[in-house]
Amino acid sequence: MATLDTSVPQDSAPAATRAWEPWVQLACGVVCMAMIANLQYGWTLFVDPIDAAHHWGRAAIQTAFTIFVLTETWLVPVEAWFVDRYGPRIVIMFGGVMIALAWVINSYATSLFMLYAGAVFGGIGAGSVYGTCVGNALKWFPYRRGLAAGATAAGFGAGAALTVVPIANMIAAQGYEAAFLWFGIGQGIVVFILAQFLYPPKYKIAAPKKLSGLPQSKTDYRPQQTLSKPVFWLLYLMFVMVAAGGLMAAAQIGPIAHDLGVADLPVNLLGLQAAALTLAISLDRIFDGFGRPIFGFVSDKIGRENTMFIAFGTAACALLMMVYHGSNPLVFVVATAVFFGVFGEIYSLFPATCGDTFGSRFAATNAGMLYTAKGTAALLVPLASVVAAAYGWYSVFAIAVGLNAAAALLALFVLKPVRARFIARSAQREAETVSAGTPAHTGSAMG
């Protein structure tokens, strides 16, 4: 049973929840997410052109990516608090302005300080949009959280697939500055307009005729209570372990392809012909995008932890292919596509698991706190360049294999029993509270 946030003003939603409303909210969230995708996934296209123009060095330029991810993730709990308190519209509008401003700054950046400033603005804007859209989806779909979070996150994963070629062409024809300027303004305007159609659910969401039977907490844990639970920190650790390898690949796939000597080699894959790097980036975004709702939907059916085990194990296998055959352009394209196809699911499974474990009312803030694990993982991205310079990219891939394999085992043999016991204890204590005559679902239960 979902408990909704009564702090949202009465006029922020219609008088009744209609069947089509959740899907309209989900669609708006997906498009908003697509508009911020290039801030992360399109970044790799700009690294070498920026270095060629200013000779700042890859490591210094990639620091901007780290700053972006840190500000995008670590401020999400603050932005999500505003969402839980005032609704999503104002936060999304703010995010649209910030992402436009960020890329305008990047287009005029003549120093690393300006580039880093653009990263800060971009991170704040992307975090505002990301945390709001995911949190809103968790509230509108309390019984299909995997699918809803996955579809929303798919916009972030696949959104860049539609624009990677236009951005690359604009960079080649007009320079990276023009690409930053015009794509930044366009993305910001679309987000600002769509914000006008977003609002949280005011009334109870009807349960589907057939529930999945997944374990869910009926207690709404406040953020400070969530932080006190060991199961939250177990989720956090696993998130960091898996996100580290994916963020490294997203930020460094261009330099990796060049260093392995496959970037410009032609590849023919089932009739698709392009240079290895261009084809890899396009397929990575498509596989990443489709993987998020697919794995989210699967997790609604077979369980979060079982799905994590499958996805993390597959990621480890894909990275092993890179370790042994990464210098083959066809293997490079296929292996990276498979890896991103199973990597993106962390952005559907972890928010859904968080919502199942800690309830709906504070879902945006709780999921936002868990999302900061992405920022923690981003600290390892520059370290990957250092390790690669000393020992080669294959050593980086080997480390990522170990992290994904360990996370897969943790999901099945540690997280699954720990979370089941936590939810069972929560249900028992809530039953005791109800029998004692205390109102339930107040967010005051301790598990």
pLDDT tens-digit series, residues 112-168 = 999 999 999 999 999 999 889 988 888 888 878 888 888 898 887 667 767 777 888
Residue 189 has pLDDT above 80, yes or no: yes
Burial of residue 162 (number of CB atoms within 10 Å: 0-12, 13-18, 19+): middle
Predicted confidence band of residue 239 (pLDDT cuts 50, 70, 90): very high
Mean pLDDT, rounded, for 321-345: 84
Architecture in CATH for domain 20-200+224-435: Up-down Bundle (1.20)
Q: Residue 4: what pLDDT? A: 39
Q: Residue 442: what pLDDT? A: 46
Q: Residue 8: what pLDDT? A: 41
Q: Residue 277: what pLDDT? A: 83
Q: Residue 269: what pLDDT? A: 80
Chain-centroid distance, C-alpha 72: 10
Counting residues of the chain whose pLDDT is more than 90, the rounded percentage is: 34
Counting residues of the chain whose pLDDT is more than 70, the rounded percentage is: 89
Predicted confidence band of residue 196 (pLDDT cuts 50, 70, 90): very high
Tell me the average pLDDT of the chain.
83
Q: Residue 366: what pLDDT? A: 92
Q: What confidence tens digit (pLDDT) does each residue in 380-426 have?
A: 777 777 877 787 777 788 888 889 999 999 999 999 999 999 998 88
Predicted confidence band of residue 212 (pLDDT cuts 50, 70, 90): low
Residue 103 has pLDDT above 60, yes or no: yes
Residue 227 has pLDDT above 60, yes or no: yes
Q: Residue 434: what pLDDT? A: 63
Residue 225 has pLDDT above 50, yes or no: yes
Q: What confidence tens digit (pLDDT) does each residue in 350-382 have?
A: 999 999 999 888 888 899 899 899 888 877 777
Q: Residue 336: what pLDDT? A: 87
Total residue count of the chain as it appears in this document: 447
Spatial CA neighbour of 45 closest among 136, 134, 164, 193: 164
| Residue with the larger pLDDT of the pair 268 and 95 | 95
Q: Residue 139: what pLDDT? A: 84
CB distance 67 to 119 below 8 Å: yes
Residue 1 has pLDDT above 50, yes or no: no
Three-state DSSP at 303 gives coil
Taking only Cα atoms into account, the Rg of the chain, rounded to an integer number of angstroms, comes to: 21
Predicted confidence band of residue 3 (pLDDT cuts 50, 70, 90): very low
Burial of residue 55 (number of CB atoms within 10 Å: 0-12, 13-18, 19+): exposed
Mean pLDDT, rounded, for 184-211: 80
Each residue of 174-200: b (16+ CB within 10 Å) or e? Answer: eebbebbbbbbbebbebbbebbebbbb
Residue 226 has pLDDT above 80, yes or no: yes
Predicted confidence band of residue 251 (pLDDT cuts 50, 70, 90): low
- The Cα 300–Cα 304 span in angstroms is 7
CB distance 264 to 276 below 8 Å: yes
Q: Residue 7: what pLDDT? A: 40
Residue 439 has pLDDT above 70, yes or no: no
> Which residue in this structure is represented by tokens 């294959």?
394
Predicted confidence band of residue 276 (pLDDT cuts 50, 70, 90): confident
What are the distances in angstroms from CA 255 to CA 2, 40, 42, 297? 46, 15, 13, 34
**The pTM is what?**
0.76
Q: What residues have CB less than 8 Å from 209, skipping those under 6 apart? A: none
Residue 15 has pLDDT above 50, yes or no: no
Q: Residue 210: what pLDDT? A: 55
CB distance 222 to 434 below 8 Å: no
Mean pLDDT, rounded, for 57-75: 86
Q: What residues have CB less than 8 Å from 210, skipping those under 6 apart? A: none
Q: What residues have CB less than 8 Å from 141, skipping those under 6 apart? A: 22, 26, 147, 148, 205
Mean pLDDT, rounded, for 39-64: 86
- The Cα 177–Cα 114 span in angstroms is 13
Q: Residue 213: what pLDDT? A: 65
Residue 343 has pLDDT above 60, yes or no: yes
